[in-house]
């Protein structure tokens, strides 16, 4: 007896004993393994002259035996050697399940995720079986082997007899309990409906011996009162339709079928929010089926994530993920493109130069954009959810396009409105602008809550101008790259660039500045290491002083870029704006007038640090700040 690797055992225990209820997927998993194995052999036959396959040889069979309580899934695929049985079924450390191994604590919901995400499919058979035998014989070999396990302690591998190459997986079902009736799987009807539901588009025929009945011929001597006699007979039947789902008309496929296809083929466990189909005929004919996922995969923004659509030529897979079919900003879309106009032996290098492919990519992009626009207009709730998941991709696209993508992606972008307190599109923002407003205002910070309470945001809003609250790193870069929207410039409210003051207010500020030039110069000298200038605010907020920037780099941009390679060269030009209407300004003036330099230094320092705090920046020297407060008290 060989023991399962620890990770496998843990997962097995979980699957068998947890209340993971979707037990019936075991059949889908076994059939998909069978299909993979047939695929493998089929591809070998294309290049290897030693592999000669008959036309009918590529098949999968499902059978059951009511008395023995067994279900058998057989395939005429590649088969496995004893070593391969050991390697493939003795551990689950295949199929990119590294993450799984790193984890050591699972909850029940995790178990469902894991089954879907990592290649642990085979083990699902233990959810319904007390014993599993795998009898396998590689193509072209004389030796067959049997792997057997009860799923608890371990497994055995021995030599076996098998006539044909391929694999038989034989499940002996668990005993029925009060809650679970495993016998339900021992029926033609049940197995047929499971195959239809989960494995309808498997490319190879899934055959099952089914019982049918037919009328017996009427005997010649039958009297008038003869009642038709029937006999039962069995017949091989192909259960799955095999026609790829993307070839079928959208009206003939149910949402559930699409969702099931998406989930099983793209290893997700959430339904897609939108399904997009294209059937193009004419100069370039192809079918495309695409999905907008219901949630973002955890690695979407990591380097490991591979975008792309599966590319088929007349139903034969050319490439799993053809990146050229999707622009980066739609990299979250999953799906399939199938074209009879593409040659099979197309390579990755020639693909980029393939004009047909480029034409398809263009159409595909347009279709996705239209679908998103439709969702934005007709189902805002779905769209907001979508935007929470993938809005970052859209904003990255705008940023990378540097204005070139404004027309395509700009209408899809949303930002949080300080006044309306919900997501708004840029068009909605512009439409709501009062006549006297010239620019589009935005504020950047950590959270919507914090930004809404920012003194400058409150002041601008009080003047009747809405402010877009940007909380993601990419936001400000995106807006700056877009440069304008509907000829309106984007202005960060925390810069000296914003123009919201009336002419009177500006005049007053200027005069106050001149009248207090000495005070401002003195403060500027005190803060020489911290700020570039000290001025009077033309638009006073509730705060005694605010920290703003002049020039193209804002404080937030400086923070984001400080992690990058140019960190040393990039500095925001800081300007401290004083509120001349605040009591504190009088105190400053008095300190200056008294000639007490220490006092002015203390006040200036405190004020600067306070301004840092209100705009969400860390204080440079917290200890001194704390001491200074104590001094005052």
- Of 539, 537, 538, 535, the C-alpha closest to 521 is 535
Contact between 95 and ligand ADP per CB under 6 A = yes
**SS (HEC) of 367-426:** HHHHHHHHHHHHCHHHHHHHHHHHHHHHHHHHHHHCCCCHHHHHHHCEEEECCCCCEEEH
**Residue 201 phi, psi (nearest 5):** -100, 10
75, 287, 466, 475: which one binds ligand ADP (CB under 6 A): 75
Q: Which does 37 bind (CB under 5 to 8 A by kind): ligand ADP, Mg ion, none?
A: ligand ADP
338 binds ligand ADP (CB under 6 A): no
Judged by beta carbon distances under 5 to 8 A according to partner kind, the member of Mg ion, ligand ADP, none in contact with residue 90 is none
| Chain length of the chain | 633
Binding track over 159-198 against ligand ADP, x by CB under 6 A: --------x-------------------------------
- Nearer to ligand ADP (CB atom), residue 99 or residue 627: 99
Where do contacts with Mg ion occur on this chain (CB under 5 A)?
Answer: 33, 121
Contact 413, 398 (CB under 8 A): yes
Which lies closer to ligand ADP via its Cβ, residue 94 or residue 483?
94
The residue whose Cβ lies closest to Mg ion is: 121
- Which residue in the set 4, 16, 71, 78 belongs to the binding site for ligand ADP (CB under 6 A)? 78
| C-alpha span between 238 and 58 (Å, rounded) | 13
Query: What torsion, rounded to 10 degrees, do the Cα atoms 153, 157, 158, 159 define?
Result: 160
Among 121, 293, 445, 455, binds ligand ADP (CB under 6 A): 121
**Interatomic CA distance for residues 585 and 515, integer angstroms:** 13
Q: By C-beta, is 2 or 94 nearer to ligand ADP?
A: 94
Pairwise CA distance, residues 441 & 493, whole Å: 6
Q: 516 contacts which partner out of ligand ADP, Mg ion, none, CB within 5 to 8 A by kind? A: none
Nearest-approach distance from CB 320 to Mg ion, in angstroms: 15
3-state secondary structure 514-581: HHCHHHHHHHHHHCCCCCCEEEECCCCCCCCEEEEEECCCCHHHHHHHCCCCCCCCCCCEEEEEECCC
Q: Does 120 bind ligand ADP (CB under 6 A)?
A: yes
Q: Contact between 88 and ligand ADP (CB under 6 A)? A: yes
Three-state DSSP class for residue 159: strand
The token pair at 270 is 């959430």
Stretch that binds ligand ADP, among 73-81, 109-117, 338-346, 576-584 (CB under 6 A): 73-81
For residue 197, count CB atoms less than 10 angstroms from its CB and return exposed for 0-12, middle for 13-18, buried for 19 or more.
middle
467 contact choice in Mg ion, ligand ADP, none (CB below 5 to 8 Å, kind-dependent):
none
Distance in Å, CB of 229 to ligand ADP, minimum: 42
Which residue, 34 or 342, has its beta carbon nearer to ligand ADP? 34
77 binds, among Mg ion, ligand ADP, none (CB under 5 to 8 A by kind): ligand ADP
CB of 121 or CB of 335, closer to Mg ion: 121
What angle in degrees, to the nearest 10, is found between the helix axes of 583-594 and 597-614? 150
Minimum gap (Å) between residue 84 Cβ and ligand ADP = 7
Q: Which of 4, 8, 26, 33 binds ligand ADP (CB under 6 A)?
A: 33
Closest distance to ligand ADP from the beta carbon of 125 (Å):
9
Distance CA 397, CA 404 (A): 10
Does residue 122 belong to the site contacting ligand ADP (CB under 6 A)? yes
C-alpha span between 452 and 444 (Å, rounded)? 10
Q: Does 77 bind ligand ADP (CB under 6 A)?
A: yes
Q: Which is nearer to ligand ADP, 163 or 632 (CB)?
A: 163
CA torsion, points 45, 49, 53, 58, in degrees to nearest 10? -10
Residues that bind ligand ADP (CB under 6 A): 29, 33-34, 37, 75, 77-78, 80, 88-89, 94-95, 119-122, 167
């Amino acid at each position: 007896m060989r023991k399962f690797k620890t990770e496998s055992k843990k997962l097995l225990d979980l699957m068998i004993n947890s209340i993971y209820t979707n037990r019936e997927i075991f059949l889908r998993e076994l059939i998909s393994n069978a299909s993979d194995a047939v695929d493998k052999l089929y591809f070998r036959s294309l290049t290897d002259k030693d592999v000669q396959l008959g036309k009918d040889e590529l098949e999968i069979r499902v059978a059951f035996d009511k008395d023995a309580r067994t279900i058998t899934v057989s395939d005429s695929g590649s088969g496995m050697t004893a070593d391969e049985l050991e390697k493939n079924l003795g551990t689950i450390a295949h199929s990119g399940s590294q993450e799984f191994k790193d984890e050591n604590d699972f909850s029940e919901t995790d178990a469902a995720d894991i089954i879907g995400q990592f290649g642990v499919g085979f083990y699902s058979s233990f959810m319904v079986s007390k014993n599993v035998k795998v009898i396998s014989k590689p193509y072209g070999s004389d030796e067959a082997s049997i792997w057997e396990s009860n799923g608890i302690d371990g497994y055995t591998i021995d030599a076996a007899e098998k006539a044909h190459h391929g694999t038989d997986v034989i499940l002996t079902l668990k005993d029925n309990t009060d809650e679970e009736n495993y016998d339900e799987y021992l029926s033609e009807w049940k197995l047929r409906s499971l195959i239809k539901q989960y494995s309808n588009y498997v490319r190879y025929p899934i055959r099952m011996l089914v019982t049918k009945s037919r009328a017996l011929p009427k005997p010649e001597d039958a009297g008038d009162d003869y009642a038709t006699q029937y006999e039962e007979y069995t017949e091989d039947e192909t259960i799955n339709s095999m026609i790829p789902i993307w070839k079928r008309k959208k009206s003939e496929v149910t949402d559930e079928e699409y969702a099931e296809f998406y989930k099983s083929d793209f290893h997700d466990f959430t339904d897609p929010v939108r399904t997009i189909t294209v059937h193009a005929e004419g100069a370039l004919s192809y079918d495309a089926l695409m999905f907008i996922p219901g949630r973002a995969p955890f690695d979407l923004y990591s380097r490991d994530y591979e975008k792309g659509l599966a590319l088929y030529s007349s139903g034969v897979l050319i490439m799993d993920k053809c990146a050229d079919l999707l622009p980066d900003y739609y990299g979250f879309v999953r799906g399939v493109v199938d074209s009879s106009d593409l040659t099979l032996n197309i390579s990755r290098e020639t693909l980029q130069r393939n004009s047909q492919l480029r034409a398809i990519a263009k159409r595909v992009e347009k279709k996705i954009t239209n679908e998103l626009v439709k969702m934005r207009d007709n189902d805002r709730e779905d769209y907001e959810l979508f935007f929470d998941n993938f809005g970052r991709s859209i904003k990255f696209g705008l940023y990378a396009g540097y204005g070139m993508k404004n027309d395509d992606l700009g209408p899809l972008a949303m930002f949080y409105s300080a006044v309306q307190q919900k997501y708004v599109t840029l068009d909605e923002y512009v439409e709501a602008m009062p006549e006297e407003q010239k620019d589009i205002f935005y504020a950047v910070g950590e959270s919507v809550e914090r930004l809404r309470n920012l003194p400058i945001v409150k002041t601008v809003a009080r003047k009747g101008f809405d402010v877009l609250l940007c909380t993601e790193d990419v936001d400000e870069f995106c807006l700056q790259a877009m440069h304008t929207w509907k000829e309106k410039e984007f202005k960060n409210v925390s810069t000296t660039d914003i123009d919201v003051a009336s002419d009177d207010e500006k005049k007053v500020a200027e005069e106050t500045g001149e009248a207090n030039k000495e005070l401002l110069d003195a403060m500027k000298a005190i803060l020489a290491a911290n700020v570039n200038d000290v001025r009077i605010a033309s638009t006073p907020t509730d705060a005694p002083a605010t920290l703003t920037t002049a020039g193209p780099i804002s404080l937030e941009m400086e923070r984001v870029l400080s992690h990058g390679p140019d960190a040393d060269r990039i500095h925001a030009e800081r300007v401290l704006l004083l509120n001349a209407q605040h009591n504190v300004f009088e105190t400053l003036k008095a300190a200056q007038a008294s000639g007490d330099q220490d006092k002015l230094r203390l006040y200036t320092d405190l004020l600067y640090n306070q301004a840092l705090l209100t705009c969400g920046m860390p204080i440079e020297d917290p200890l001194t700040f704390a001491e200074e407060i104590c001094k005052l008290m």
